[in-house]
Amino acid sequence: MVSPIVHPQEPQGNRLRETLCRLEPKTQRTYTPSLALLARSSGVFHWTPDGRKLYDLTSGVLVANLGHNPVTWRERFLHYLGWSGSSVQDRHGFFEAVPLTSYNAATPVEVEASRRLIACLRECAGSQRLEKVLWAASGSEAVQKALWAALARDRSRDIILATRYGFHGKKGLAGATTGCETDPERDPRVRFISFPREECCDVSRRREPFDPLPYRRELEALREQFGRRLNVLITEPYLGGGGSYHPHPAYLRVVQDFCRENDIILVLDEVQSNFGRTGRMFAFETYGIEPDVVLLGKGLANGVPGAAAVGPAWLFDCLDYGEGSDTYSGNPLVCAAVLATLDCFSDGAVLENCRRVSPLIEAGLLGLKQFPFVRYVRGEDGGMVWGVEFGDFGSRSASQWANEFVLASYRGNAREGVHLLGPLAKKVVRIAPPLVITSEQANEALRIMSEAAQSLLES
């Protein structure tokens, strides 16, 4: 059994972690050196069972874009579910409201969520290409359904292209398009293409010229090899789980042009980047492209688990009854949460705050480069997601420095700390606070992280 993590000043949390280690296997969650116990949350803060305050710079893995438990969102959510006000209970102990199940049925709240989501996407894209919503229970299932639809349009076109080191999930075709060709038991239908990691290794290179020609040549070589077997290309706008690499927009435009010229379906996996994370409502706006299918999740419902693939009617209609269904897709709980989220973004204030505070956070993160174990800072210009890459220094490896930084930031001081996740690609710490974080909150969180880095240097 894995030994439980112990933190000073957290006796209640330590007891809970010890119990957790006895009751759940380690595979339940990804490794994070802090293993935070979170008793309650509000806005950009968590509180531990022992009362320590944590600045949440993860948004619950890019989910709580509106912050934790926002009042307006909750009110709208309850309204759409019919749970607001005083519900009348019958003599058997039930009350009338929207059902929480919708398998092989539909509800008005689902119809409205589909209508509103498509309208929002069309307005942001400036076109009518995105026509239908294929709901899913998780991001990886949305990936799977989009790829199923692409393959169903022509069974003889079996080759899927995916950008190397991307992350699309762990299940089925989502797992097959994650990582690279050296991963074991790779699906033979998947071929990987290069993503410009070296060219976007640090924000200092953001304004440097970018040469898309090598990437175009690579795509042309695949066309020569596979011809009409090429069916669909899936990529993230930026590599999230692969280490937070944010490309020049010209790269994605080359990919889009190649797909258009060769009748290849372009699937943009925005599960991590949608609903404001790049400073715009959707990342395709930030990068100036228009995918055939856009995949949504995480921030889509601000914490309620759900996802969606949105694309053209002719493509999704290639799947017959039941081929894209599952128990929880389009359930009213998720659809009510999506509607509440759309309501909260509708006046533009959340995105405005994101773009206002973003430069301040980026400047603070760049300040961490004064420490010899911090190599690079990558992120979205005006967005709310960065990757801080650590390097080897002294007797410690990049991975050790990254994990120790996460732990030191969490422990902070007796009263407060910063909640971060375990490193991406073993050495990159992602910074992704809720989009509603204020300048004052950002400055305090950055101060704690800088003090944590200083304590590591002195240790």
pLDDT digits (tens, 9 = 90+) for 88-121: 777 787 888 899 988 889 999 999 999 999 999 9
Residue 209, both tokens: 């010229």
Q: Is residue 417 pLDDT above 70, yes or no?
A: yes
CA-wise closest residue to 125 among 329, 316, 322, 291: 291
**Cβ-based neighbours of 111, under 8 Å, separated by 6 or more:** none
pLDDT grade for 186, boundaries at 50, 70 and 90: confident
- Distance from C-alpha of 113 to C-alpha of 337, rounded to nearest angstrom: 9
pLDDT digits (tens, 9 = 90+) for 41-83: 999 999 999 999 999 999 999 999 999 999 999 999 999 998 8
| Structure confidence at residue 308 (pLDDT) | 98
Tell me the pTM: 0.96
Percent of the chain's residues with pLDDT above 70: 99
Determine the distance from the C-alpha atom of residue 150 to the mean position of all C-alpha atoms in its chain, rounded to a whole number: 23
pLDDT grade for 405, boundaries at 50, 70 and 90: very high
Judge whether 315 and 123 are in contact, CB under 8 Å: no
Count of beta carbons in the 10 Å neighbourhood of residue 151? 20
| Residue 295 main-chain phi, psi, to 5 deg | -105, 130
Q: Which domains does the chain have, with CATH numbers?
A: 11-69+348-458 (3.90.1150.10), 108-330 (3.40.640.10)
| Structure confidence at residue 157 (pLDDT) | 98
Residue 349, both tokens: 């204030």
Count of beta carbons in the 10 Å neighbourhood of residue 427? 23
Q: Is residue 184 pLDDT above 80, yes or no?
A: no
Residue/partner pairs of 280-285 with CB below 8 Å, 24 or more apart: 280/124, 280/351, 281/120, 281/124, 281/345, 281/351, 282/121, 282/124, 282/125, 283/237, 283/238, 284/124, 284/125, 284/237, 285/124, 285/125
Determine the distance from the C-alpha atom of residue 223 to the mean position of all C-alpha atoms in its chain, rounded to a whole number: 31
| Structure confidence at residue 2 (pLDDT) | 67
CA-wise closest residue to 117 among 381, 330, 389, 418: 330
Beta bridge partners of 293: 267
Judge whether 387 and 244 are in contact, CB under 8 Å: yes
pLDDT digits (tens, 9 = 90+) for 272-329: 999 999 999 999 999 999 999 999 999 999 999 999 999 999 999 999 999 999 999 9
Least trusted range by pLDDT, from 4-8, 332-336, 437-441: 4-8
What single-letter amino acid sits at 125? A
Three-state secondary structure of the chain: CCCCCCCCCCHHHHHHHHHHHHHCCHHHCCCCCCCCCCCEEEECEEECCCCCEEEECCHHHHCCCCCECCHHHHHHHHHHHCCCCCCCECCCCCECCCCCCCCCCCCHHHHHHHHHHHHHHHHHHCCCCCCEEEEECCHHHHHHHHHHHHHHCCCCCCEEEEECCECCCCCHHHHHCCECCCCCCCCCCEEEECCCCHHHCCHHHCCCCCCCHHHHHHHHHHHHHHHHHEEEEEECCCECCCCCECCCHHHHHHHHHHHHHCCCEEEEECCCCCCCCCCCCCHHHHHCCCCCEEEECHHHCCCCCCEEEEECHHHHCCCCCCCCCCCCCCCHHHHHHHHHHHHHHCCCHHHHHHHHHHHHHHHHHHHHHHCCCEEEEEECCCCCCEEEEECCECCECHHHHHHHHHHHHHHCCCCEEEECCCCECCCEEEECCCCCCCHHHHHHHHHHHHHHHHHHHHC
| Structure confidence at residue 94 (pLDDT) | 86
Beta bridge partners of 365: none
**Cβ-based neighbours of 410, under 8 Å, separated by 6 or more:** 7, 33, 34, 36, 54, 417, 418, 419, 420
Round the average pLDDT of the chain to a whole number and report it. 95
pLDDT digits (tens, 9 = 90+) for 379-404: 999 999 999 999 999 999 999 999 99
| Structure confidence at residue 93 (pLDDT) | 79
| Structure confidence at residue 355 (pLDDT) | 98
pLDDT digits (tens, 9 = 90+) for 142-183: 999 999 999 999 999 999 999 999 999 998 999 999 999 887
* Stretch 26-30: mean pLDDT: 92
Residue 105 to residues 101, 244, 303, 326, 356, Cα–Cα distance (Å): 9, 40, 24, 12, 43
pLDDT grade for 332, boundaries at 50, 70 and 90: very high
pLDDT grade for 1, boundaries at 50, 70 and 90: low
Percent of the chain's residues with pLDDT above 90: 92
